[in-house]
Chains A and B, each alone.
Chain A
Amino acid sequence: MEFLVASAIGVLTATGLYLVLRLRSFPVIMGISLLTYAVNVFLFASGRLTVGAPPILGDATSYTDPLPQALVLTAIVISFGMTAVVVMIALGAYLGADDDHVNDPPPPPDGTTPAEDAQ
């Protein structure tokens, strides 16, 4: 199981990083999502992998660490919200500029601010 979880985290991270390095907003957002999945699994595994044990301390001889589960829950909620925000902002930028590149647009040759949307 350790191998499975570790390779899942690795593959998700590698794919996410590759996509994040792309130039257009859709693959980058997909990459961010994959990275957050990877980190969620990673956080879950940081409390050691245990099967079939209750997440409480008590008279049980074995237990699973409950704290990483709470951390993962928080992380999932936050990354979900953030992804929604970035999708909306990217959509606004795409509809405004008709272009979904994430890098800065090239400045005019004289380096001045483009006149049409200087505000």
Chain B
Amino acid sequence: MTHWIILPVVLPAFLAPFIVLAARFHINIQRTISVAGGLAMVAIGAALSWQAADGTVTLYQLGDWAAPFGIVLVADRLSALMVLLTAVLALFVMLYAIGSGWDNRARHFHALFQFQIMGIMGAFLTGDLFNLFVFFEVLLIASYGLMIHTGGTRRLRAGVQYVLFNLLGSTLFLFALGSIYAETGTLNMADLAQRVQLIDPSATVGIRVAAMLLLLVFAIKAALVPLHFWLPSSYAEAPGPVAALFAIMTKVGAYAIIRVYTLVFPPELAVTSGLHEAWLLPAALISLAIGMVGVLAARQLDRLVAFSVIGSMGMVMISIALFTPEALAAALYYIIHSTLAAGALFLIADLVRSGRRNLDLVAQPPVAGAALTAGLFFAAAIAMAGLPPLSGFLGKLLILDAAFDSAHMRWIWAVVLGSSLIAVVGFSRAGSVVFWKAQSLRPDPDAAPDTPAPPRPAVLSYVAVGGLIALLVAHTVLAGPATRFTAAIAGQLFAPDAYLSTVLETPGKLSDYEAGADDYGSGTHGADAATDEEGH
């Protein structure tokens, strides 16, 4: 059995306490450990993707317990890709945090960062729904600490909202898990996929409620309208590098929806047919529209970027909601793109903030290093708004193409194209006010000369932002191989037999027990599901 697959969880879990305990007062040692860990994670992510590229599903049984009884980690193409994406984003965000000095403004940035990585990686790799909940909590509790890093009243206040909203989401998640367990007697995703098939078609109330509750939870994480209210304030008030790392957190929700609603509740499943399809697409369309209108209406640059994240999640969800292999491949291409673009934009907003007092969209004297920052903003905004030549345009094209045969094609095309126009106007307004009009303002000679000019941002900050932009360019240039890979992922998701057989048929402790457990599982639970539901 290969132990590689658990490394993305175990490595940060070791690094974080080591940073707290051994390197507490030595910021340089912390930075070295963090960057080394980040590089190692990229290498592991690349290795896992390489291993999964040919379609092998790698299984890791914790404690060698066989699948439905023990916890398993599973790396298929989708998980491996998400792990690699997280590792790459985290590395660049880490470099930016070091370059801008954010990590030294308060304690424990690096330790919390590692714990956050651990939670995200675990959520991508786990093959068990309850374990998914646990990793969600790990990544959330680390994110609470990162979100209020360096404190400040406004940040704490936004932090309270963020924590409360996510606590409610966690409670809903537990309700959903309890309902699923009561209906099926298992929480292992592969086992669940098989048992859901066996549910009596006349007693589907419980499992339908559970499927909707679960969708609600993941929609909160993915910030789908009307569950997006936590996002703008918390992302805008969070420190720049933290907001950039949070760009992957909404994708955790999208990943969970893709995983659960292709594996456990696939679209052709009769028990839950017509449930999430009815809700997901309208919510996604409204998210895209609201997000891009928010881009136009925002009065601060960081809120503008936060709303563009909501819009891009709407775009991803439109594509996911179609539930066809082509649409899913397009969604995955767009997920990679929007994670990198949103990360870059949050970092650029922080670059701008470091030279100005605030991020209000009003003309202020130009900041140090404005030309380079403006150029980077220009590139990232083009990517986010989906203009050619960068990958946002290609992703959008793929989504439109995948929606061509859909019954709702008119709606999808109208909203996608209309919102793109609004986003272009919003981004160009912001860019021209912040960077262009600033050139027409002469510095006020009477302005207090004792306030020192803010220093130029460090070179490392530009390296980090430039690296993300370069990745966007690479994502565009290598769109052919990238789309082939995402199409392979979608193919694997819609043919889950390899996943199921790997998880359920790999021998381990207790694996001979499965044959005798049938009377305990779906049979009894399915039969009394109807009577139980009246009790709830």
Instruction: Using CB atoms, name the residue of chain B closest to A105.
Output: B157
B297 to chain A, nearest CB (A): 10
B401 on the interface (CB 8 Å rule)? no
Instruction: Using CB atoms, name the residue of chain B closest to A98.
Output: B153
Contact status B171-A36, CB under 8 Å: yes
Contact status A82-B300, CB under 8 Å: no
Contact status A6-B535, CB under 8 Å: yes
Chain B residues with Cβ under 8 A from A82's Cβ? 137, 140-141, 163, 167, 170
A107 CA / B157 CA spacing, docked (Å): 14
A117 to chain B, nearest CB (A): 5
B64 on the interface (CB 8 Å rule)? no
- Among B140, B151, B160, B182, which residue has the most Cβ atoms of chain A within 10 A? B160
Contact status B174-A43, CB under 8 Å: yes
A49 to chain B, nearest CB (A): 10
A68 CA / B152 CA spacing, docked (Å): 41
Instruction: Using CB atoms, name the residue of chain B closest to A29.
Output: B164
A39 CA / B154 CA spacing, docked (Å): 32
Contact status B163-A42, CB under 8 Å: no
A102 on the interface (CB 8 Å rule)? yes
Chain B residues with Cβ under 8 A from A59's Cβ? none
For chains A and B in complex, what number of residue pairs have CB atoms within 8 angstroms?
A: 123
Interface of A is mostly: helix
Chain A positions 30-75 with a Cβ under 8 Å from a chain B Cβ? 32, 35-36, 39, 42-43, 45-48, 67-68, 71, 74-75
A29 CA / B148 CA spacing, docked (Å): 18
Contact status B144-A39, CB under 8 Å: no
Contact status B154-A117, CB under 8 Å: yes
Chain B residues with Cβ under 8 A from A107's Cβ? 299
Contact of A74 among B134, B140, B154, B360 (CB under 8 A): B134
B361 to chain A, nearest CB (A): 9
A107 CA / B297 CA spacing, docked (Å): 14
A74 CA / B144 CA spacing, docked (Å): 19
Instruction: Using CB atoms, name the residue of chain B closest to A70.
Output: B130
A112 to chain B, nearest CB (A): 5
Contact status B181-A67, CB under 8 Å: yes
Contact status B148-A39, CB under 8 Å: no
Classify chain A: how many residues form its interface, as a range. 35 or more
B123 on the interface (CB 8 Å rule)? no
Contact status B182-A118, CB under 8 Å: no
Contact status A81-B358, CB under 8 Å: no
B241 on the interface (CB 8 Å rule)? no
Contact status B159-A93, CB under 8 Å: yes
- Among B141, B153, B362, which residue has the most Cβ atoms of chain A within 10 A? B153
Contact status B148-A89, CB under 8 Å: yes
B219 to chain A, nearest CB (A): 18
Chain A residues with Cβ under 8 A from B410's Cβ? none
Instruction: Using CB atoms, name the residue of chain B closest to A78.
Output: B137
Contact status B163-A85, CB under 8 Å: yes
Interface size on B, residues (CB 8 A): 41
Chain B residues with Cβ under 8 A from A96's Cβ? 151-153, 156-157
Chain A residues with Cβ under 8 A from B233's Cβ? 104
Chain B residues with Cβ under 8 A from A90's Cβ? 160
- Among B141, B152, B171, which residue has the most Cβ atoms of chain A within 10 A? B171
Contact status B163-A89, CB under 8 Å: yes
A113 CA / B236 CA spacing, docked (Å): 12
User: Quick one: CB contact mask for B183-219 with A, threshold 8 Å, 1 for yes?
Assistant: 0000000000000000000000000000000000000
Instruction: Using CB atoms, name the residue of chain B closest to A67.
Output: B181
Contact status A113-B359, CB under 8 Å: yes
User: Quick one: CB contact mask for B138-180 with A, threshold 8 Å, 1 for yes?
Assistant: 0011001000101111101111110110011011001101110
A117 CA / B156 CA spacing, docked (Å): 12
User: Quick one: CB contact mask for A81-100 with B, threshold 8 Å, 1 for yes?
Assistant: 11101100110110011000
B357 on the interface (CB 8 Å rule)? yes
User: Quick one: CB contact mask for B270-301 with A, threshold 8 Å, 1 for yes?
Assistant: 00000000000000000000000000000110
Contact of A86 among B157, B160, B175, B360 (CB under 8 A): B160
Contact status B157-A93, CB under 8 Å: yes
- Contacts A42-B174, A46-B182, A85-B141; is A6 near B536 (CB within 8 Å)? yes
Instruction: Using CB atoms, name the residue of chain B closest to A9.
Output: B536
Contact of A39 among B174, B300, B357, B536 (CB under 8 A): B174
User: Quick one: CB contact mask for B107-151 with A, threshold 8 Å, 1 for yes?
Assistant: 000000000000000000000001000100100110010001011
Contact of A89 among B154, B156, B179, B181 (CB under 8 A): B156
A118 CA / B301 CA spacing, docked (Å): 13
Chain B residues with Cβ under 8 A from A114's Cβ? 154
Chain A residues with Cβ under 8 A from B154's Cβ? 105, 114, 117
- Contacts A93-B159, A96-B153; is A115 near B357 (CB within 8 Å)? yes
Could you list 15 examples of A-B contacts with CB < 8 Å? A3-B535, A20-B164, A32-B168, A36-B167, A42-B178, A45-B182, A68-B178, A78-B134, A82-B140, A82-B163, A85-B141, A93-B153, A93-B157, A114-B154, A117-B153
Q: Which 7 A-B pairs have the closest CB atoms?
A: A96-B153, A93-B156, A46-B182, A118-B358, A111-B299, A46-B178, A113-B358
Q: A residues bordering B, Cβ < 8 Å?
A: 2-3, 6, 20, 25, 28-29, 32, 35-36, 39, 42-43, 45-48, 67-68, 71, 74-75, 78-79, 81-83, 85-86, 89-90, 92-93, 96-97, 102-105, 107, 111-115, 117-119
